[in-house]
Amino acid sequence: MNAAAYAFEHQLSLLEAQGRIKLIEDEVEIAPSVTCVKCGGHTVGSQFVQIDAEHGFFIYAGDIIATKFHTSLAITSAYDVCRADTFKAKKDIYSRLKAKKGFLLLDHDTRIWEIPITDLKV
């Protein structure tokens, strides 16, 4: 499914061998209070970014939750390589946001880019 669009193994291995990319598993803190979480779903190596700052808690979900339309657990992208993983990732994201009364950051919505978890029906 979508093999032509997501066949990056060779390119990623070349970048990793040159030390230009570091592939992660699970969660990795990449800067103080900034964590990448590998979740899969949209692509095999999809990640979301969690920011636990003094002024708030944020998750940038990337293409896992690209627009407000995609905030429903039941709605996934036609380009997702594993919709079950997307569903699990969204549940994890919402759980983390609820625990910290955080904000979801969107990347493809033309009208809104930040949504408080309290405004989502999840």
Tell me: the pLDDT tens digits for 24-75?
788 999 999 999 999 988 888 889 999 999 999 999 999 999 999 999 998 9
State both tokens at 56: 């708030």
pLDDT at 76: 87
Is 86 exposed, middle or buried, given 0-12, 13-18 or 19+ CB atoms closer than 10 A? buried
pLDDT band at residue 6 under the 50/70/90 scheme: low
The CA dihedral of 92, 104, 25, 41, to the nearest 10 degrees, is: 70
Please report the domains of the chain, with CATH numbers, ordered by start residue.
Answer: 24-119 (3.60.15.10)
Contact 21, 15 (CB under 8 A): yes
* Identity of the highest mean pLDDT range in 14-18, 49-53, 108-112: 49-53
